[in-house]
Amino acid sequence: MSRCAAQKGALSANRCAWWRDGALATAARAGSDARPMARIMSGVQPTGNLHIGNYLGALVNWVRLQAEYDAFFSIVDLHALTQRPDPEALRRAVREVAIGVLASGVDPERATVFVQSHVPQHTELAWVLTCLTPLGDLNRMTQFKDKSQHQPDNVNTGLFTYPVLQTADIVLYRADRVPVGEDQEQHLELARETVRRFNHVYGETFPEPQVVKSNAPRVMGLDGESKMSKSRNNEIGLFETADETMQKLRGAKTDPARLRKTDKGTPEVCNIFSYHGFFTSESQRAEIAAGCRSAQLGCVDCKKMLCQNLEQVKGPIRERAAELRSKPAELDAILAHGASRARAEAEKTMEMVRSRVGLGVRA
Ligand code: TYM
C-alpha cells in the first residue's frame, strides 16, 4: 500500500500528499522501485544572451543534477514580459537561450526542457497562488526594488507579482529542489512560505522546495562592483569568442591598489583572480598568485591566461550552439516534446489544485 493510501484512514482522501504517488510512478518509469525519483525544477529568463554567471551559478548544476533527478528546465518567457521586450527580440532570445542550455550539456533525453508560455497552467496556478499571497510578502522582495529602479518608466504589476509566477513554475511540477544562484534565494523563501500556506489551507499538496546552490552562487561582474548580470552590461557572454572576451577583460577591474605593473598585487582582492578560481587549474593559480604578489606577472598577462582557460569551456559550447542553430527543426522538436511532457505533469497538478480550491468538479 502506498504511503498516501495508508494515510487515508487518518486524513481525508483530499488531504493526503498525492504528489508522492506521482513520484513513485516516476520512479517506476525510471526502472527503480526502491526510492521515488525526486524532482528538480529551474528556469532562466530569455533576456539577452547567457553569461558565465548563469553558467556557473545555475547551468553547471542543471547538467550535474539531471542524472539524479527528474528534471524540468524552463525558458521563462512570461517572466521576460515584465521588461516589455521587443516581440521579435523575445522570440529570438527564447531560441538562443534554449540553444545555450542545450549546448551547456542539458540533455533533452534526460531532462524536460520547455518554454514556459507553451504550458498555460503556469499562469493559471499563478493566479490561484496570487490570491494566497499577502501584499506585505511581495513588498519585501529586494529584486522588485532593484528592478523598479532599473526600469523606473515601467514599474508594472507583473514585476511586483513576478515571485508568485516563479512559485507557480516550481510547484506546478511538485519540485523538491531548485538549482539557482544566490540572487534567487529570497524568491525561494517566498515559494516555501506559499507552499506552507497552501498546504495549511487546502491540505498537504506540495513539497517544500529547497535551494541547491552551486560552487559559484554569486559571480561578480567585470566591474567588480555588482553581480554579473545581463542588465548591468558587466558580463562575459557564454557565446563570446576569445577575442571578444579579451576585449572586455582589458577594461575589467583588478586589484584596485595595483596601479602599475611594478606594484605588488594581492590576488585575494582581485576580481580577475576570482574568475581564475572557476576556470584555472590549482597549479596555474598558484603560479599566478605568486607572480602577482611579486609583481613578476602583469594584469594583462594574467587576463590573457584567464581568457585562454575560459575558451576551453566556451569554445566547445559555442561549437555545439552553432550546430544546434543550423538545425532549427531539431530545436523545435526538442521544445515541442518538452512542452508536451511538461503540460501533462502540469495538468495533473492543476486537476488536484482546482479540486482542492473549489474550482470545477471534485476529483
Ligand atoms: P535569471 O534568468 O536571472 O538567471 C538564471 C539563473 O542564473 C543564476 N544567476 C547567477 N548565478 C551566479 N552568479 C550570477 N551573477 C548570476 N546571475 C544569474 C540565477 O540565480 C538563476 O538561477 N527568476 C529567475 C528565473 C526563474 C526561475 C523560476 C528560477 C523563473 N522561474 C523557477 C528557478 C525556478 C531569474 O530571473 O533567473
Residue 112 identity: T
Residue 88 domain-assigned (yes or no): yes
Q: What is the whole-number distance in angstroms between the Cα of residue 58 and the centre of ligand 1?
A: 7
**57-89 pLDDT tens trace:** 999 999 999 999 999 999 999 999 999 999 999
Residue 235 domain-assigned (yes or no): no
DSSP-derived 3-state class of residue 350 = helix
Q: Which of 8, 145, 213, 230 is catalytic?
A: 230
The helix-helix angle for 157-171 and 185-202 (nearest 10°) equals 70
48 lines ligand 1 (CB under 6 A): no
Share of the chain above pLDDT 70, in %: 89
Provide the CATH number for the domain around residue 174.
Answer: 3.40.50.620
Query: Domain check: are 204 and 312 in the same one?
Result: no
Confidence of residue 20 (pLDDT cuts 50, 70, 90): low
15 lines ligand 1 (CB under 6 A): no
Average per-residue pLDDT for the chain: 92
Residue 80 domain-assigned (yes or no): yes
Least confident piece of the model among 9-13, 29-33, 161-165, 211-215: 9-13
Query: Domain check: are 174 and 267 in the same one?
Result: no
Provide the CATH number for the domain around residue 281.
Answer: 1.10.240.10
Report the predicted TM-score, pTM, of the whole model to 2 decimal places. 0.92
**186-234 pLDDT tens trace:** 999 999 999 999 999 999 999 999 999 999 999 999 999 999 998 889 9
Residue 226 domain-assigned (yes or no): no
Cβ within 8 Å of residue 19, ≥6 positions away: 174, 205, 206, 207, 349
Residue 197 domain-assigned (yes or no): yes
Rounded Cα distance between 259 and 254, Å, is: 9
Query: Domain check: are 140 and 281 in the same one?
Result: no
- List the domain range (segments joined by +) for residue 87: 13-219+327-357
Query: Domain check: are 173 and 104 in the same one?
Result: yes
Grid cell, residue 43, equals: 528556469
Rounded Cα distance between 289 and 273, Å, is: 8
**104-137 pLDDT tens trace:** 999 999 999 999 999 999 999 999 999 999 999 9
The predicted pLDDT at position 28 comes to 55
Number of domains in the chain: 2
Pocket test for ligand 1, best of 183, 187, 218, 271 (most atoms within 8 A of CB): 183
Q: Which of 8, 213, 227, 248 is catalytic?
A: 227
- How confident is the model over 47-62, as a mean pLDDT? 96
Grid cell, residue 253, equals: 577591474
